[in-house]
Chains A and B, each alone.
Chain A
């Protein structure tokens, strides 16, 4: 349900907040102290026609990928184009960031990581992303200069960004400890002990039952990575969706921020949908007797 509601809910909440806050919505988006042409802006965005009209007009335009033009981040440039340019970088960053977490989770599930190292992962996870990103940015800047954004230095920035997202703020610790504790809880179940007595593999018995929980954890981690991408992209100078959102916020470019937030909501909704489909797949698999389990004769 959340997957379906989210893309509609995010613009609705932003619209609602815009009208609930004291003052004229156009003045909130474009404060007269720092921004001129507030009335033109109100007319162009339909802010003068009330929240319902604004919401449905914006949503209708969004359905045809018409997000208007940026008026401050890249004046006159279509927001859709800005989004299309920045999205692939953020996608690469997020996919790469998942690698250390997936490696950690797999190693934890297979029992390759000793429990006594948990304190180390947890201590590492206490380091905020901004600090790690700052160190990585300094390394790149010292070796390649402040304006090194193309070629290998640019790639290095993305790799460092992925490493920061995959390790900082408890990401790796959560993947290792979360996966292990989920599996250990399942191992306490009687059916696992009986399966062991029957000579069956523990993992093949437990995995289908813990997969829904692990998939849920995985989705939460992807979401965490997407959220953290904002900080990492700005500190490391990676031109992605997070940096676009930050620029939009700093420069009060409402069109860019609303569209970027909508894009993040769509991505989050897609993740929820994938989670639901995976859970359905696992449930269907569990209904059938898994291979390798000896049937009663």
Chain B
């Protein structure tokens, strides 16, 4: 047991470090980026630490911090919503309530049949101008991703024995909160729930990057943040111009590093929460 905990420790440290870094970056994000400085354009990370500057002389770290501020809380909220729904599905399967279980299955079948990005674009279209931020879009994505998570959590609970597992623990004298919260959720559903939550949080970040990139590339305002702020997609777009000859390869490198950091953070959370 101690060995397994030790094996999880590096993942826990990595997850905390990466998520902490993102949260600190988000908290320190400036409300607006600096005014353009045309004398300091295209500087590399060594000339203008920590990330260099873009074609207007604005530090790339400002875009990175604003991007973190755009994604961190909506991604965490979306992940939490999926975890909540998956937990409910698992608990319902264990409680043996066939009516609610049936309703959940119908919900899963219907919502799971929708192409997610299509629904997201419809949501983006219908949202009033003032609400066009990542949070409602992220939550909509979480609901669309929930059927998979709920199905897996319910299957895991079913594999435990469902209502019979709860009955057996009751016979041992355990209280209902201890059975459901500790034995079912804490010990058995945790790896599934945390993995699904981490994956959805990561997907929401990638969704923001994708939607913002598409908007930036067409010179249109993004659905996910206000016009005055910049997403990580700005770094990637500048990096894309580097592939076409602009001196902004450092923007591409840092953009990709941020994407990789999110992917690694999600995987670290997943490994940190795996079953004993």
Contacts and interface: CB of A to CB of B under 8 A. Distances in A.
A163 interface: no
A129 B117 CA distance: 12
Nearest to A233: B214
Interface stretch (A49-57, A152-160, A195-203, A250-258): A250-258
B98 interface: no
B129 interface: yes
Nearest to B202: A126
B125 A252 contact: yes
A249 B125 contact: yes
Interface string A131-165: 10011011001100000000000000000000000
B46 interface: no
B115 A268 contact: yes
B206 to A, nearest CB: 4
Contacts of B118: 226-227, 230, 245, 260-261, 264
Q: Is the interface of A mostly helix, strand, loop or mixed?
A: helix
Contacts of A278: none
Contacts of B106: 1-2
Q: Is the interface of B mostly helix, strand, loop or mixed?
A: helix
B242 to A, nearest CB: 9
B121 A9 contact: no
Nearest to B112: A220
Contacts of B123: 17
A245 B121 contact: yes
Interface stretch (A20-28, A60-68, A97-105, A285-293): A20-28
Contacts of A272: 113
A89 to B, nearest CB: 16
B110 interface: yes
Contacts of A10: 114
Interface string B126-169: 11110000000000000000000000000000000000000000
Contacts of B267: 126
B241 to A, nearest CB: 9
A191 B229 CA distance: 61
Interface string A222-238: 01001110110011000
Contact of A227 (B116, B125, B214): B116
B124 A249 contact: yes
Contacts of B112: 220
Interface string A90-110: 000000000000000000000
11 contacts: A21-B126, A28-B128, A31-B128, A31-B129, A131-B256, A141-B244, A226-B118, A228-B117, A235-B213, A246-B214, A248-B125
Ranked nearest first, the 4 interchain pairs of A and B with the lowest CB-CB distance are: A227-B115, A138-B243, A130-B210, A128-B206
Interface of B: 106, 109-110, 112-119, 121-129, 206, 209-210, 213-215, 217-218, 220, 223, 236, 240, 243-244, 256, 259, 263, 267
